[in-house]
Structure 1
Amino acid sequence: MAILTRVGRIELAKAVKAQSIYLAWGSGQPQWDTTPVTEQSGSTQLTQALGYRKARRVLYCEPDTSGEIHVPEGTFKASTQATPHIYCEFNYDFTDGLEQTIRELGLMVGTQPHSSEPAGRFYHAPSGIADPGVLMLLEHRPAMYRDQGVRETFEFVLSF
């Protein structure tokens, strides 16, 4: 039986970290509010994408019970060395997706905005995206209404 070695996992993490990383959010389906939906590993895109936010921070990290990174999968600490774990933080602004209902999140790797989009823009509507990239992580969540007074922050750790 073959295994994927730690150094092999680190190389996968390096390849992903070297690309642009965005979090797409979408409205999903209203029936999800009353009927739970299960994420499908064969999914390649969100059901109803509303926007794409570039990662604010992308760091290597390691599991550590006293670490400063807390996600549902555990506690991690940031690392200056390459590891098989990548921490991604996304900070949406007050006006991103304003007055929309969010039911799905997708961590996208390799997302490319259209060349006509202003340089330095971190949030893009679907019409501003030339290539959405590859869906690496999919999460369906309870409906969340986007209110003007709230800035959403999402954190994920990808482990290879």
Structure 2
Amino acid sequence: MAYIGVITHAGRILRAKAVLNAITHCALGEGNPSWGNNPPQPDVNQTSLVKEVARKRYSKKSFLIPDPQGSIAIAKDPDNPSNLTFYSETTEETNAIAIWFRFEEWEVVGATIREYGFFGDGVEYVSGVNGLLALNGVYDPVNNPNGQVLNSGKLYRVVNIPPKIKADTDSLEIVFFEEF
């Protein structure tokens, strides 16, 4: 006799709630220039970005509900970005979440972004960095004394992208979305 299990709707909400509370920061990285316009698949065993240049605390977190009239458009299939599903924010706990990270026009100017990642679980900045933004990656007294991240926390998801140069006229908003 085979046993069949399922994660219940309530279980999916518990997972969404746990991840919503856990993810606190988004890091941008320059990756490896040798990737060109065809970045490699990230490694499931990665614990950091290849070359982190900035990290920022979230600007907003929310549970979402499907809503054909909603203002939040999510492309669930990267190979078909025009196939959008629409959501609205809700105060009700659901199995869909979004976490917003915004890098302003004056932040990270000139960096060539090839990777980004979402971190949580104990991210700390070095003493004296009191704002939302930390620059120059993870501090190491020998290899990276200018790094402003003291404890990187745990990397939840990493994404490699074709290069984008961050100009001083561009803000960059990255939205973490997950549906359980």
What is the TM-score with the length of structure 1 in the denominator?
Answer: 0.88
Change (3 A) 1:9 1:72: same
Match of 1:37 in 2: 40
The one-letter code sitting in structure 2 at the alignment partner of 1:112 is V
Is 1:50 the counterpart of 2:34? The answer is no
Q: 1: CA distance between counterparts of 2:37 and 2:88?
A: 37
How do residues 17-32 of structure 1 correspond to structure 2 at under 5 angstroms?
17-19=20-22, 21-32=24-35
Stretch of structure 1 that moved more, 143-152 or 17-26: 17-26
Match of 2:87 in 1: 76
For residues 78-120 of structure 1, give each alpha carbon's deviation from its aligned partner in whole angstroms, at most 9, with x where no partner exists.
Answer: 111111211111110223222110000111123522361343x
Task: Structure 2: state its 5+ residue gaps.
Answer: 77-84, 138-146
Q: 2: CA distance between counterparts of 1:99 and 1:89?
A: 22
Deviation at 1:37, TM superposition (A): 1.4
Change (3 A) 1:43 1:64: farther
Contact 1:106 1:137 in 2 (8 A): yes
Change (3 A) 1:141 1:35: closer
Task: Structure 1: state its 5+ residue gaps.
Answer: none
Is 1:16 the counterpart of 2:19? The answer is yes
Aligned residues: 159
Match of 2:157 in 1: 137
Q: 2: CA distance between counterparts of 1:142 and 1:22?
A: 21
Aligned pair partner of 1:86 in 97, 112, 131 = 97
Q: 1: CA distance between counterparts of 2:96 and 2:128?
A: 31
SS state at 1:138 partner: strand
Q: Considering only CA atoms, is the larger Rg found in Structure 1 or Structure 2?
A: 2
Aligned pair partner of 2:120 in 95, 98, 109 = 109
Deviation at 1:34, TM superposition (A): 4.2
For residues 1-58 of structure 1, give each alpha carbon's deviation from its aligned partner in whole angstroms, at most 9, with x where no partner exists.
Answer: 2222221121122222223511111001112114441233333321111111111111
Superposition RMSD on alpha carbons, in Å?
1.9
Contact 1:71 1:155 in 2 (8 A): no
SS state at 1:18 partner: helix
The one-letter code sitting in structure 2 at the alignment partner of 1:96 is E
SS state at 2:56 partner: strand
Q: 2: CA distance between counterparts of 1:111 and 1:24?
A: 14
Extract structure 1 runs of 4+ deviating beyond 4 A. Answer: none
Contact 2:16 2:95 in 1 (8 A): yes
The one-letter code sitting in structure 1 at the alignment partner of 2:170 is V
Change (3 A) 1:20 1:40: closer
Identity level (%): 22
The one-letter code sitting in structure 1 at the alignment partner of 2:31 is G
